[in-house]
Structure 1
Amino acid sequence: MPPHQAPLPSPPAPLPGVTGPKLAPFTPTAHADIEFIEFLGRENDKDSLVWKVEINGAGSFALKMFYFRHRDFLSDNQAMDLLRPLADPQLYVDYFDPFNCECRAYGRLKEENCEDLAIKAHGYLLLTPQQEADLAQKSERYSTLPCSLGDTDTLDGENFWGRFEQHYGLPVRAIVKDLASSAAYPTPTQAQGMWADLQVLHSLGIFVKDTHGGNYLTGKLVDFSRSWTMHHPAMDQIRFSTIQCLMLKELQQLLDHYYELANLGCIDPAAIPQDLEGFCSGDIDQYKNFPFAYNWLKWSTNADVDKAYVEQSMFVFDEAAP
């Protein structure tokens, strides 16, 4: 039997299975009848596939379905700035996998009753093998790639969902979201709120890290697939100077989006936040609203247990251990 990523809970439970915020299943079984209506994403999306869907014959939603990522890819690329390895290879999936990153961010928004800071997420679903195959047939770009759960094929990542052997038999995970307006650009009022919203997200312990214009619709974030939500090992282990650099990059992406909107005439250049410009022009040291300051233990029912879990996850795992 090939090596597995940690199996999903049965019956379905909020994910991911680590200490901190989680997202509940959309239905009690995490399955639903899904009709794929229209592709909504971008052709170059690396983490996911987004379609307009109808679920259980009632109501339209945006369904974001996530590709699989190898644990080694996550540890080498998404967690490369950690000062030391995590205690178990599975923790890289729990904390850095794009699906889990989104579940944790949306879970925090639900905890704090702040779901208006982003396009709303309603829960997660698991695709059936038939739904996977149906979608593969509808997707022109990848129609020639095999679509397999791993029953017979060798899984080397060269398939529709990017499965490797460690994903053998695991279903595709998806998040159900509100169907946002198809308007290409935000109104001036919507644009004005983007900077204010980002600062509140930071205050809630959510480091978005990916705020380019393509991740906004109607002035609201739609993508948290690269986000870190407290508690998160990266915000404990990474040097403060590195976090500052990452924060500067995040703020600069949003500022560039404001510049783009101004150049297109969507907003008045005078409406570009001056403090955001200041932080991006050399005053990042003055930014105080860092996500790692969030008191994540306030949601804990047993703070000692949760703190112990976090401390144990920082111990280096022994790759030579049986």
Structure 2
Amino acid sequence: MMASSISRFAPLPKFPSRPAVLLPRVPGPKLAPFTPNARADIEFVEFLGRANDVDSQVWKVKINGALFTLKAFYFCHSETLRQNQGGDLTRPLANSQLYIDYFDPFNCECRAYGRLKERQRENLAVKAYGYLLLTPQQETELARKVTGNPSLLSHASAGTLDGDNFWKRYEEHRGQPVRAIVKELVSGKAPNPHDAQRMWADLDNLHSLGIFVRDTHGGNYLGGKLVDFSRSWTMYHPALVHIGENTLQLLMLEELQQLLDYYYELANSLSDEIDVPEDLESYCSGQIAKYKNLPRAYNWLKWDKNAAAVKAHVESELYQEPAL
């Protein structure tokens, strides 16, 4: 049984601290550091991402002689997260840091992968090994590789931090390191029919673990496995509790439709070798109300030995008091 998930609300540790902590520092699932101090010597080998990626830089890297995928995340301003991700909340969060803790793409991935690890279901996605914090030298090196500008300065000591820099850092991020997640390096080839068939079952299982992926287009799969949880909500999550049922149902339909569209794409390219799941088609064709495996139904307190205290902590610390 896992230990209590209560922890002090606090932003990401700043340089030169040596964090031996799990992130994010709010109740619920968390991801451990890849190394004890979350630092590592990294050789950036090859860019693996897409030119239009808005959340991160994805690279093939070498760490201690082994090859991995490294996903290094841009920063997001808390106000942008509040408006774009938390705008449908019926109960606003108590402070700007909480919008970062629950809606920032890095934290969304940490929480989803943390749930997979704690429930021993890492087979449902490409595996994540832990997070790293880049040094100023590493973040500058990576920015120079991408831009081709050898004199580029991109680290936290820059003058005015208004988001108009490589890592999209604002003043609220000053002194905070670039965050990255070390993942399994997998082939970019299209899935075979066997791998493709399991995608719907995997997504259904993710829902049963309280993980609402929300972004299931074909570009987020490699070999039939999900590689991206940067838009995911994992119970306990304010959006899964304090967004209306109709809105959540529409979001669920959108998520399922993305996967269905990917199945159609694969069916066209693989001819008759793949069967599109009939129940998935049914849910996307006017029967979404019949889908019962909803992430918000996950019993997030079941595995916490101090459940009552955690629940009270969430209710007292997360939300603004209603206006009188």
Partner of 1:119: 126
Answering whether residue 168 of structure 2 is matched by residue 168 of structure 1, we say no
Partner of 1:245: 250
Answering whether residue 218 of structure 2 is matched by residue 218 of structure 1, we say no
CA offset at residue 130 of structure 1?
A: 0.7
CA offset at residue 89 of structure 1?
A: 1.5
Partner of 1:308: 312
Secondary structure at the counterpart of residue 139 of structure 1: helix
CA contact (8 A) 1:187 1:266 kept: no
Answering whether residue 282 of structure 2 is matched by residue 274 of structure 1, we say no
Partner of 1:75: 82
CA offset at residue 90 of structure 1?
A: 0.9
Structure 1 gap ranges (5+) = none
Secondary structure at the counterpart of residue 160 of structure 1: coil
CA offset at residue 152 of structure 1?
A: 4.0
Answering whether residue 108 of structure 2 is matched by residue 101 of structure 1, we say yes
CA offset at residue 299 of structure 1?
A: 2.1
Secondary structure at the counterpart of residue 302 of structure 2: helix
Answering whether residue 138 of structure 2 is matched by residue 131 of structure 1, we say yes
Partner of 2:4: none
C-alpha separation between the residues in 2 aligned to 1:63 and 1:148?
19
C-alpha separation between the residues in 1 aligned to 2:165 and 2:133?
18
Secondary structure at the counterpart of residue 180 of structure 2: strand
Partner of 2:293: 289
CA contact (8 A) 1:87 1:313 kept: yes
TM-score normalized by structure 1? 0.93
Sequence identity (%):
63
CA offset at residue 133 of structure 1?
A: 1.2
Secondary structure at the counterpart of residue 33 of structure 1: coil
Partner of 2:45: 37
Q: 1:177 to 1:266 in 2, by over 3 A?
A: farther
Q: CA RMSD in A?
A: 1.7
Q: What amino acid is aligned across from residue 198 of structure 1 in structure 2?
A: L
C-alpha separation between the residues in 2 aligned to 1:35 and 1:11?
22
Q: How many residues align?
A: 310
C-alpha separation between the residues in 2 aligned to 1:189 and 1:156?
47
CA offset at residue 194 of structure 1?
A: 0.1
Q: What amino acid is aligned across from residue 156 of structure 2 in structure 1?
A: G
Worse-matched range after superposition: 78-87 or 250-259: 78-87
Deviations 1:216-237 (A, max 9, x none): 0000000000000000011110
Secondary structure at the counterpart of residue 298 of structure 1: coil
Q: 1:255 to 1:130 in 2, by over 3 A?
A: same
Partner of 2:165: 159
C-alpha separation between the residues in 1 aligned to 2:263 and 2:19?
45
Q: What amino acid is aligned across from residue 297 of structure 1 in structure 2?
A: L
Deviations 1:142-184 (A, max 9, x none): 749954333241001010100000000110000000001121x
Q: What amino acid is aligned across from residue 80 of structure 2 in structure 1?
A: F
CA contact (8 A) 1:145 1:159 kept: no
Q: What amino acid is aligned across from residue 285 of structure 1 in structure 2?
A: A
Partner of 1:23: 31
C-alpha separation between the residues in 2 aligned to 1:267 and 1:236?
41
Q: What amino acid is aligned across from residue 81 of structure 1 in structure 2?
A: D
Q: What amino acid is aligned across from residue 112 of structure 2 in structure 1?
A: A
CA offset at residue 87 of structure 1?
A: 1.4
